[in-house]
């Protein structure tokens, strides 16, 4: 009697473990591709269909990695890859494949409008699809499309899809050359100036329309945008500040005049969307040699012609760390 109860409890645990996890509170939004995708998925075996739905995040599923699906199905990730490739071949040769042609035509026009390349990150933007569900469905259709091929992530580019007519090597070479020229200047560019400079490099190998240039920008990870809607190299401290000192420097540079450290902290809040501590901002203004004290709590930039006062002496701790020397009481007492 007790053995039967144990076996039944074990079977319930196994069923719960094998059940596909759902995100709590997740609401699925239907996409224009769902009807055609269901017709194509109906040509697969139940196991293959489940693998494809989880792999691409279709019809309410969340995207899964090969390892995650392998653990759920108790198979290796290479076996999951084989099932995915076999399922794609079955769907491409099925009679329901023709139902995808209208969507292929729309994706073909979208790729050409974006200069022949489209990054995975750019697909979620309002200019392209606007939702994660539509993006995942589009990724699945691009996998089946005869005119698109996927390029994996690289040190300077994210995951992206190229049109078969696009010069992928030429575009990437031009984008890398443009990124090097931007990095040499170490500055942040306004949108109009930035994309005008990019068009000069892209013109021989790709389109120079606004959607195309924005798509190229989204593909290249060496390029970035800061909180002031300015563009530049991702390694530039004017585009991606390395710390609070850089954020304070950008704030003063934008203001163009000396500011009280509380005003500097308030401007960083409005531009970065976070609340820095006043003491942190003040310490950065005191220590960094780019700032000069011009009044009671008011700081400007040394490049404006202000002279810096005496800086706190830096000492090395027994652990090898460098810090400011603590001021003792005898340093603060006026000697007569």
What's the pLDDT score for residue 62? 87
CATH code, domain with 308: 1.10.10
What's the pLDDT score for residue 309? 64
Angstrom distance (rounded) from CA 13 to CA 15: 5
Residue 66 inside a domain? The answer is no
**pLDDT tens digits along 200-245:** 999 999 889 999 999 999 999 999 998 888 999 999 999 998 888 9
Angstrom distance (rounded) from CA 290 to CA 288: 5
195 falls in which pLDDT band (50, 70, 90)? very high
Angstrom distance (rounded) from CA 244 to CA 141: 44
What's the pLDDT score for residue 128? 80
Residue 248 and residue 308 in one domain: yes
How large is the average pLDDT for residues 156-185? Answer: 94
**pLDDT tens digits along 245-262:** 999 999 999 999 999 999
What's the pLDDT score for residue 81? 93
What's the pLDDT score for residue 130? 74
Residue 268 and residue 225 in one domain: no
Residue 65 inside a domain? The answer is no
Indicate the angle between helix axes 261-272 and 244-255, nearest 10 degrees: 100
What's the pLDDT score for residue 61? 84
Residue 226 and residue 173 in one domain: yes
Measured in whole angstroms, how far is the alpha carbon of residue 274 from the centre of its chain? Answer: 19
Residue 179 and residue 204 in one domain: yes
What's the pLDDT score for residue 1? 37
Residue 154 inside a domain? The answer is no
Residue 193 inside a domain? The answer is yes
Residue 174 and residue 214 in one domain: yes
Residues 133/137/140/144 CA torsion (nearest 10 deg): -170
Domain stops at, among 208, 233, 258: 233
* Number of structural domains found in the chain: 2
What's the pLDDT score for residue 156? 94
Domain stops at, among 179, 214, 233: 233
Angstrom distance (rounded) from CA 246 to CA 252: 10
Residue 175 and residue 229 in one domain: yes
Residue 226 and residue 281 in one domain: no
Tokens read off for 257: 């005049």
What's the pLDDT score for residue 312? 61
What's the pLDDT score for residue 228? 87
Residue 67 inside a domain? The answer is no
**pLDDT tens digits along 110-147:** 999 999 999 988 887 777 887 788 888 899 999 999 99
Angstrom distance (rounded) from CA 327 to CA 312: 9
Domain of residue 191: give its range: 168-233
What's the pLDDT score for residue 24? 45
What's the pLDDT score for residue 335? 42
**pLDDT tens digits along 55-98:** 998 888 888 999 999 999 999 999 999 999 999 999 999 988 98
Q: Are strands 231-233 and 223-225 parallel, antiparallel or unpaired?
A: antiparallel
Residue 7 inside a domain? The answer is no
Q: Is the pLDDT of residue 175 over 90?
A: yes
What's the pLDDT score for residue 16? 41
**Beta pairing partners, 323:** 315
Give the largest Cα separation in the chain, rounded: 99
Residue 127 inside a domain? The answer is no
Residue 79 inside a domain? The answer is no
Domain stops at, among 233, 254, 288: 233
Q: Is the pLDDT of residue 297 over 80?
A: yes
Cβ–Cβ under 8 Å, residues 230 and 191: yes
Residue 226 and residue 254 in one domain: no
- How many other C-beta atoms lie within 10 A of the C-beta of residue 99? 15
What's the pLDDT score for residue 236? 92
How large is the average pLDDT for residues 160-183? Answer: 94
């Amino acid at each position: 009697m007790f053995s039967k109860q144990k076996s039944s409890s074990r079977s319930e645990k196994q069923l719960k473990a094998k059940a596909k996890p759902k995100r709590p509170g997740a609401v699925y939004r239907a996409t224009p591709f769902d009807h055609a995708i269901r017709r194509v998925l109906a040509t697969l075996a139940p196991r293959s269909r489940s693998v494809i739905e989880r792999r691409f995040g279709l019809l309410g599923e969340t995207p899964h990695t090969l390892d995650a699906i392998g653990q759920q199905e108790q198979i290796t990730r290479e076996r999951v890859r084989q099932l995915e490739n076999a399922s794609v071949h079955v769907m491409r040769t099925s009679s329901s494949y023709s139902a995808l042609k209208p969507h292929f035509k729309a994706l073909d026009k979208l790729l050409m409008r974006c200069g022949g390349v489209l990054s995975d990150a750019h697909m979620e933007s309002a200019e392209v699809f606007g939702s994660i569900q539509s993006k995942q469905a589009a990724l699945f259709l691009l996998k089946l499309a005869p005119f698109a091929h996927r390029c994996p992530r690289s040190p300077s580019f994210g995951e992206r899809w190229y049109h078969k007519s696009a010069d992928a090597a030429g575009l990437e070479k031009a984008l890398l050359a443009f990124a090097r020229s931007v990095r040499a200047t170490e500055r942040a560019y306004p949108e109009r100036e930035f994309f005008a400079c990019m068009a000069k490099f892209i013109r021989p190998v790709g389109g120079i329309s606004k959607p195309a240039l924005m798509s190229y920008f989204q593909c290249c990870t060496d390029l970035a945008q800061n909180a002031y809607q300015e563009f530049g190299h991702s390694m530039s401290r004017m585009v991606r500040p390395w710390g609070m000192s850089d954020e304070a420097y950008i704030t003063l540079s934008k203001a163009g005049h000396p500011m009280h450290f509380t005003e500097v902290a308030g401007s960083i809040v409005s531009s970065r969307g976070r609340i820095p501590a006043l003491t942190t901002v003040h310490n950065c203004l005191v220590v960094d040699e780019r700032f000069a004290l011009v009044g009671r709590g008011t700081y400007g930039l040394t490049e404006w012609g202000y002279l810096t006062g005496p800086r706190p002496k830096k000492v090395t701790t027994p652990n090898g760390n460098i810090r400011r020397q603590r001021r003792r009481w005898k340093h603060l007492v006026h000697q007569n």
